[in-house]
A and B are shown apart, each in its own frame.
Chain A
Amino acid sequence: MNEIVFSVGGALALIGVVAGGGGILTYVFRKLFADFGQRLGPNRVGPYGILQFVADGIKLVAKEDIIPARVEHWGFRLAPYLTFVPAVLAFSPIPFGDGLIITDVRIGLVLIFALAALAPLGEVVAGWASNNKYAMLGGLRAAAMDVSYEIPLLLSAIAVMLLAGTASTREIVERQRELWYFVPQILGLFVFIVAMIGKVGVLPFDLPEAESELVAGYVTEYSGMRFAFFFLTLFANVFFIAALTVTLYFGGWLGPFGLDLPPMLSFIWFFVKAGVLVFVVFWLWNSLPRVRIDQFLNINWKLLFPLSLANLILTATLVALGVVK
């Protein structure tokens, strides 16, 4: 009985955190974006416009539910959930604090990547089902990108796994008590962040929905709440990049220089670090032009893939020789 209550409570908390966090991130993004562009940003709803995302949410729920004629009905309805649900579930093995983890399994990292790998499926389905050429091009781009960034992403994560000797996210964080992994894995960190930004699809790698080329890519035909799911997924994923990077490379809930907080408050360090990374992602988003699809594939196959492979071999050698650990 207890277990069921805990599971249901955990699942609800997760959806609440992701949806609410994603909503707040849209506000933060818009404010930052406005600052980068020397504008004001949302400033009407609530103090400093902070309730803007609530108003947006209400608006999106209240909108007419439009399904264009001659779309593939099942795919069109299914696609938003295909992207949103895995994006939420991927948060479950992430340790937000000491003991603040929803599913602590031995294969946590594998589970995360398995769930995250489902995301492009929704994009491809959305692109195909929309019966729109722009949407289809966007979906195809998502598929082409998926096969190219997954490999460097996984190879650099495997290097961390080797170093920690475990795939449990909680234990990976525990192993970083002496040394955060971004020091021995600086190469891996670089590959990981670039590939991860490609995975989430924000500028400079937002090719599946490149608004100046493909109108809105695979979300072209979506509106109202269905669109909101895609939008929320995007921002949830931005936070996902930060959360996963913090877990793998920046010591999760551990404080710097041994300044650990008590277990109940340890999530503060986690969110501070994640916040800094989110800011970095938004910063890139606001200052870099979009790369071309062939350039993106070249970056992944010709730069990131060899780098991550070299990093993996190097790490494996060092671990085998007992230099690190």
Chain B
Amino acid sequence: MTEPYTVEAQSKDLLVLNMGPQHPSTHGVLRLILKIDGEIVREVQPVIGYLHRGMEKLAELGRYPHFIIECNRADYVASYAYEAAYVRAVEELAGLQAPPRAQYIRVICLELDRIQSHLVWLGTFGLDLGVLNAFWYGFRERELILSLQQELTGVRMHPNYFRFGGVKADLPEGWTDKARRACDEIERKLDEYEEFLAQSDTFVMRTRGVGVLTKEMAIDWGVTGPNARASGVDFDLRRDEPYFAYEEFEFTIPVRTEGDCYARFEVRLEEMRQSVQIIRQALARLPHGPILQKGWEKGYQFLMAPTGEHYTRIEGPRGEVGIYLIGDGTTFPYRVKMRSPCFQNLSVLPELMRNTLIADLVAINGSFDLVMGCVDR
């Protein structure tokens, strides 16, 4: 951290400032209790739980497929990630295998979802820094993806589209062309964002050197996803533990070593470009064939997973999304534990926010891309 903030407070007279849960830039219902010394934040204490819906308990009350529609509401900005993790966990526990076409469609969905989630992040991060227009731009391109997803799944968010052993429906006619056009459009707009934000001195002034997360800290606190990759942790489950059909695609994992807000911005921007590449490859090489494992067209409702436990993780837009699943041989899951990337990422924030200015605190919070639904579950 730069020197002006590390001056020790002369007095112990700190002002307690309650930021949130109703605050424009706490992204939902995060509550931060700040102890401030003028503009300098001396201590931060996050309070969570305002969006707790008891999801893990709800999972035990329904049969296996029922939790698909529940878990995608955990992280309501990137709905597909939890859905994919849960479906994959059940598939691996029950020994199902989705056909190649379904795997490809899943990859397309997940990557579209990653782009749209990062676009929401870009918009809200811009908002935190005072660039309201970034918000409109981000949501304009997100609309392209949401309409694609609507055509595919019937809804704009919370798709309920993945099934044990496949996906719900095949791609509609002409969908691949639309997806290709959307990819071109988004790639063009990403250059515009770079021009609009990265080449703006004020933006760089506000983000470079702010909220530096070191590699050691990132690993110690279990930070994952783009936040960790911006700190030099070269780890991405799509490449290191490929799932679905990720091993068949060529893409690079952007890594930065600075660990500041600007690095997190760069990593996410580059990730969107890479996602576009993955979608293009998947669309070009989309295999033909069934979209559900044979024999499961009707029977998934009463799926009976064997007794046993299993942990599965996938790379969500915010980091490692994990599902720990215990089956007891019935049609109900015995226990579902959701490993939330946002919860882990949030845990390091008090460390980063100590001895910063209030404005920096907002920038750091924005750059971490927290979704409170994902934290509280």
Contact = CB atoms under 8 A, between A and B. Distances in A.
Given A39-B136, A290-B206, A215 B23 contact: yes
Interface residues of B, number: 32
Contacts of B140: 38
Given A37-B137, A215-B24, A295-B205, A289 B360 contact: no
Interface string A271-297: 000000000000000111111111100
A178 to B, nearest CB: 36
Contacts of B39: 137, 141, 293-294
Interface of chain A, helix or strand or loop or mixed? Answer: helix
B25 A289 contact: no
A287 B131 contact: yes
A206 interface: yes
Q: Which of B4, B24, B360 has the most CB of A within 10 A?
A: B24
Given A37-B132, A39-B136, A294-B4, A213 B358 contact: yes
A137 B358 contact: yes
B131 A36 contact: no
Contacts, number: 81
Contacts of A141: 39
Interface in A138-167: 140-141
B227 to A, nearest CB: 20
B128 A291 contact: no
Contacts of B200: 287-289
Contacts of B17: 133-134, 137
B126 interface: yes
Nearest to A286: B133
Given A38-B136, A38-B140, A292 B359 contact: yes
A211 interface: yes
A206 B130 CA distance: 9
Contacts of A288: 130-131, 200, 202
Contacts of B205: 291-292, 295
Given A38-B140, A39-B136, A289 B24 contact: no
Interface of B: 4, 15, 17, 23-25, 38-39, 126-133, 135-137, 140, 196-197, 200, 202-203, 205-206, 357-360, 362
10 contacts: A133-B17, A203-B130, A212-B128, A287-B133, A287-B196, A289-B206, A290-B130, A290-B206, A292-B359, A294-B39
